[in-house]
Structure 1
Amino acid sequence: MSGRADTPAALPPAPPRPGTLPLAQELLPGAVLCGVIALAATFVALVHGGPQLLYALLLGMALHGVGQEGRAAAGIEFCSRFVLRLGVALLGARIAAEQVLALGWPTAALVVAAVLSTMAVGVALARRLGLTLEQGLVSGGATAICGASAALAISAVLPRSREQDRFTLLVVVCVSTLSTLAMLVYPLWTTLLHWSAPQAGLFLGASIHDVAQVMGAAYLLGPVAGDTAVIVKLFRVSLLVAVVAGIGLVMRPRRGAAAAADGERPALLPWFMVVFVALVLLNSMHLLPSSAEPVLSSVSRACLVMAIAALGLKTALRSLAEAGWRPLLLMLAETLWLAAAVGVGVAAMPGWQ
């Protein structure tokens, strides 16, 4: 027996403390959960029809309890922030300058006036209803530009809060529902007014909220109405970058105060809007391969569906019900204003007779 004391056996490594896991391992559970919900929502939309984003939101809220578990929290937050911004950024691949130029300046002026006036109505009515400026901007932008995508993009440059996230989700629910109703009602309205196919396409592209619903409504009236509506709608989507940049500039002091507490400094133009503009420029100069646009568009849609699922996981259905009737009235009034403004403009434009 040696005179030395036996060397103690090596201790097993201590389990990692929360927050010390490798980044990918930490994000994986929540990201996979959001991906599964996105796939389920896509399947339901393909089989039964209806708004894919709304299905993802409702499924996410139904699994709210699962989302509260610690292992999934980091990935859910990642999807609700970075993946959301990536989805908005990739929307730029769908837009080219020649699409805007093809409309002509009277049509472009009508669409811009409708978008700006709808957002102004949203802000003014929100204050009358006792809601905040941020809530008026999110609801007005969602109605005026491109539905849920615009709501998420505008919300991303506003000061973050639980109440604001809850309101954004309520806007997504309302704008998806109203857009689906518009898809069913507006084509009948254009038929009753005996509008030509170009007139109907202009009206549908400038007044229905979501791109999918615009296509569903317009192509029912034929290829001329459908192609016109899609071009007008893409022009509305292209206005998103200017609207988000303007809101980001105006709200920068408020975001700066919130970000200072986290040791961050808000950028003048968010990175995802920079990517959006870059993709529009590349597409306009024909530097993007023809095969890239459908791929980037599909990736963008997948990112937005995952982001909506993540926001749903963070929100209890009860909290949406607590928002009351005011946001619903606000969204309905904005939708009616947009339809009326565009309808009067279309009827007054002789070039679209």
Structure 2
Amino acid sequence: MIAATWISVRSRTQVLLPGIIASTIVAAAASFLSEHYAAPVMLFALLLGMAMNFLAADGPCKEGIEFTARSILRIGVALLGMRITFEQVASLGWGPVVLVVGIVTATICVSVLLARAFGFQSLFGVLTGGATAICGASAAMALSAAMPAHPAKERATLFTVVGVSALSTMAMIAYPMIVQWFGLDDVEAGIFLGGTIHDVAQVVGAGYSISQEAGDTATIVKLMRIAMLLPVILCVVMIARAQGAEDGGKRPPLLPLFAVVFVLLAAINSTGWVPQTVQQFGNDLSRWCLVIAISALGMKTQLKELATVGFKPILLMLIETVILAAMVLAILYFS
């Protein structure tokens, strides 16, 4: 029996390996370009992957690319739990916690309403709103992994990743100027930047461009937004289960395995027993898994498919970004 299992595993590995290797090579190229041209690595991975979409057609790489876009994505999301500790969240007090919970909830609710007004499904509003409110491309991919299968899901995910990466880069440049214009101090600046910019890298870049204190505060607030990923995923899964029950389809699990691992890693990380080198390794591995997964997602999509989406989703994400920034700025300025 052991021999038969080994043969089965080896056979499966041989089928998946070409696609995994192809996705990893594209991810490595994207990381190289990101480091040398100071642009979001997720965006490079997506664009390079789309340029290599012929590999996802019938051939030796197809199954491996499918596996990478699905399973390695979940591994990367689960490892995001290594980024946060409960002590980091508690260190800022209840004020920022309430702020983060409020703005994330409000942004997603407004996004759902806007999506319906624009003629999209509610789950598309959750996808774009979650990406805007939580942690950019990583949140988009995590929420997509928790959503039920749909013919347009992958296209919507890719479009969200492109949009949120571009908006995050523009915010990194523009928001420090807004901070100076409104005369926010370093702590307030950190709360604003950490509470509004989509991706972690851009939050860090914008925060530390102002001061060490602003950078530290921005990073912690951003990590608190990342912690909101779990309850949002849980809400998405519950909605999907309800829809599955209505449609007579199979219900997804109440809490996906990758979400459970996310919580467990965050809890373990909160004990203080995890060495810094292990934390850094987990963060790096998470980043690589997500970049490899988005490369595979790009390979599964053609440019002409994204071109059919139209202008409305761009406008939707822009409005979401502006609303999020306005809410945080109003709370800081008038409180």
TM-score by length of 2: 0.95
Corresponding position: 1:109 with 2:101 = no
Corresponding position: 1:86 with 2:86 = no
Corresponding position: 1:215 with 2:204 = yes
For residues 321 and 114 of structure 2, the distance between their equivalents in structure 1, rounded to whole angstroms, comes to 13
Corresponding position: 1:235 with 2:211 = no
For residues 217 and 231 of structure 2, the distance between their equivalents in structure 1, rounded to whole angstroms, comes to 23
Equivalent residue number for residue 161 of structure 1: 150
Equivalent residue number for residue 305 of structure 1: 291
For residues 246 and 304 of structure 2, the distance between their equivalents in structure 1, rounded to whole angstroms, comes to 30
| Cα distance change, pair 119–242 in 1 and its aligned pair in 2 (3 A) | same
Q: Name the amino acid aligned to 1:314.
A: K
Corresponding position: 1:336 with 2:322 = yes
Equivalent residue number for residue 41 of structure 1: 30
For residues 158 and 255 of structure 1, the distance between their equivalents in structure 2, rounded to whole angstroms, comes to 11
For residues 240 and 248 of structure 2, the distance between their equivalents in structure 1, rounded to whole angstroms, comes to 12
Q: Work out the number of aligned pairs and report it.
A: 328
Equivalent residue number for residue 252 of structure 1: 241
For residues 108 and 245 of structure 1, the distance between their equivalents in structure 2, rounded to whole angstroms, comes to 19
**1:89·1:272 contact (CA, 8 Å) conserved in 2?**
yes
**1:45·1:52 contact (CA, 8 Å) conserved in 2?**
yes
Aligned counterparts, 1:54-203, within 5 A: 54-203=43-192
Q: Name the amino acid aligned to 1:78.
A: F
Equivalent residue number for residue 3 of structure 1: none
Residue 265 of structure 1: CA displacement? 5.4
| Cα distance change, pair 303–250 in 1 and its aligned pair in 2 (3 A) | same
SS at match of 1:267: coil
Between structure 1 and structure 2, the one with the greater Rg is 1
**1:159·1:254 contact (CA, 8 Å) conserved in 2?**
no
Corresponding position: 1:277 with 2:269 = no
Structure 1, residues 272-300: CA drift from partner, whole Å, max 9, x if none?
00000001111111232222100000000
| Cα distance change, pair 100–20 in 1 and its aligned pair in 2 (3 A) | closer
Equivalent residue number for residue 24 of structure 1: 13
For residues 168 and 300 of structure 2, the distance between their equivalents in structure 1, rounded to whole angstroms, comes to 24
RMSD: 1.7
Give identity over the alignment, percent. Answer: 46
For residues 161 and 267 of structure 1, the distance between their equivalents in structure 2, rounded to whole angstroms, comes to 17
SS at match of 1:69: coil
Q: Name the amino acid aligned to 1:332.
A: L
Residue 176 of structure 1: CA displacement? 0.2
For residues 259 and 284 of structure 1, the distance between their equivalents in structure 2, rounded to whole angstroms, comes to 41
Structure 1, residues 281-326: CA drift from partner, whole Å, max 9, x if none?
1111123222210000000000000110011000001110100011
For residues 246 and 113 of structure 2, the distance between their equivalents in structure 1, rounded to whole angstroms, comes to 25
Q: Name the amino acid aligned to 2:150.
A: S
Residue 186 of structure 1: CA displacement? 0.2
Residue 133 of structure 1: CA displacement? 1.1
Residue 256 of structure 1: CA displacement? 6.5
Structure 1, residues 95-120: CA drift from partner, whole Å, max 9, x if none?
00111101111111111111110001
Structure 1, residues 243-267: CA drift from partner, whole Å, max 9, x if none?
101211121133568995xxx7521
Equivalent residue number for residue 314 of structure 1: 300
Structure having the higher helix fraction is 2
For residues 213 and 65 of structure 1, the distance between their equivalents in structure 2, rounded to whole angstroms, comes to 32
Residue 49 of structure 1: CA displacement? 0.8
**1:158·1:255 contact (CA, 8 Å) conserved in 2?**
no
Q: Name the amino acid aligned to 1:331.
A: M
For residues 110 and 344 of structure 1, the distance between their equivalents in structure 2, rounded to whole angstroms, comes to 11
SS at match of 1:70: coil
For residues 161 and 61 of structure 1, the distance between their equivalents in structure 2, rounded to whole angstroms, comes to 20
